Amino acid sequence: MNRYMKKSLEVKYPVITAYPRHAYNLAIIGTMENSSPWIFSNYLQLRCHTKSLHDKFIYADWFEFDSYNPMLDDNPLLYYQIIYRDLILKYRENIVDFTIEWINEGYYFCTHLNELHVPNTRAYQFRDFPHSNLIFGYDKDQSNFDIAYFDKDGKLAFGKIGFEDYSNAFHTLEVSQDYLKYNYLVKPRDIFEFKYDIKMNLQSFKDYINGSRPVDLHYDRYRMFGMDVKEFDFGMDVYANLITYTTYLETSDIVYDIRPFHILFEHKSCLKNHLLYMKKLNLLENYELLENMMGEVEDKTKKLRNLFLKIAFFHLQTEITDLKGIEKIRERLINLKDVEVAFFESLIEQLSKSVRV
């Protein structure tokens, strides 16, 4: 097959999918050998924007990525080129040819599209809706691109989009916010080195369990985004925000948002994989104990997420607030925090012994 008729860059379904900036980057990084040290060293901490609760929504995410950036462009594993939408439109009228040319050079293309024209999304043929998507391949014979997107159920999916739909989705996008101007060309580095630092990660675990802001230098970077670090809670303190969130739900004074609970679940899934990685490095003297404790934490978090989804769907269908269900969520959050604290105390104890050795 002539490579200029068909080409598809490799992707792998990621363990973290709650937001595009994590899903798309990890879909690429997951295909690279020796990427685990970077992933596990960076996906440790959680944060919650406390001010968002007063604005009648809740925002929780991993620390410390810029929430307006759909790509993690300070990632040492990948090359990034940021191209303004205006430049593309000025010099290349045909977005299809532009995208194909860069895929031929080995670049993934992350761009914002109007999902009115993106098949299998919630907005398809229904309403204008801007959202980031990842293009990673094409087939000229079939006149379509390979695309990573979020489907009708809000889940990350890999699929196809026709050239015509893609062109319409790009050109009909209304740039209502500055971040919609940015497009990203992304390519894995041929050579990179990122070593797993057990001392650094041990400190990160301690920071997480204490809900602390460990190094002022890191948190000062929020100033670049016009954010006040005092408006954020970190680590275990995220639970307090989720509990407060449930009190707003009782009065129907805030939107139902599954994402914080899904972030919480994916955090535990990532921790489980991290735990296995530490076992392979011979850093744990009693892996089986930690594995069982983590299994309980992950199971409780999954059930919590599913319960919230059930309550949110019930409210959507009936406009009735399930007060008993919300109270159950609050009780489970309190219990889950206690179980997770016990896990981290045991993990920190074992890792501290490895560091001393």
| Contacts by residues 99-102 (CB-CB < 8 Å, ≥ 24 positions apart) | 99/135, 99/138, 99/145, 99/166, 100/138, 100/140, 102/185
Q: How confident is the model at residue 216 (pLDDT cuts 50, 70, 90)?
A: very low
Q: How confident is the model at residue 323 (pLDDT cuts 50, 70, 90)?
A: very high
* Residue 15, φ and ψ in degrees, nearest 5: -80, -20
Q: How confident is the model at residue 187 (pLDDT cuts 50, 70, 90)?
A: very high
Kindly report which listed range (16-30, 115-129, 231-245, 282-296) carries the lowest average pLDDT score. 231-245
Query: Residue 225: is its pLDDT beyond 50?
Result: no
**Residue whose pair of structure tokens reads 């190094």 in the numeric block:** 215
Kindly report which listed range (46-55, 193-202, 211-220, 306-315) carries the lowest average pLDDT score. 211-220
Query: Residue 243: is its pLDDT beyond 80?
Result: yes
Question: pTM score, two decimals?
Answer: 0.88
What pLDDT, on the 0 to 100 scale, is given for residue 52?
63
What pLDDT, on the 0 to 100 scale, is given for residue 56?
62
What pLDDT, on the 0 to 100 scale, is given for residue 64?
57
Query: Residue 251: is its pLDDT beyond 90?
Result: no
Q: What is the mean pLDDT of residues 316-343?
A: 96
Query: Residue 165: is its pLDDT beyond 50?
Result: yes
Classify residue 30 as exposed, middle or buried by CB count within 10 Å of its CB (0-12, 13-18, 19+). middle
Query: Residue 357: is its pLDDT beyond 80?
Result: no
Alpha carbon of 308 to those of 33, 153, 302: distances in Å?
Answer: 36, 15, 10
Average pLDDT of the chain, as a whole number = 88
Percent of the chain whose predicted confidence (pLDDT) is above 70: 87
∠ CA 202-203-209, nearest 5°, is 95
What pLDDT, on the 0 to 100 scale, is given for residue 211?
82
Distance CA 61, CA 75 (A): 18
First to last CA, the chain: 55
Amino acid at residue number 144? N
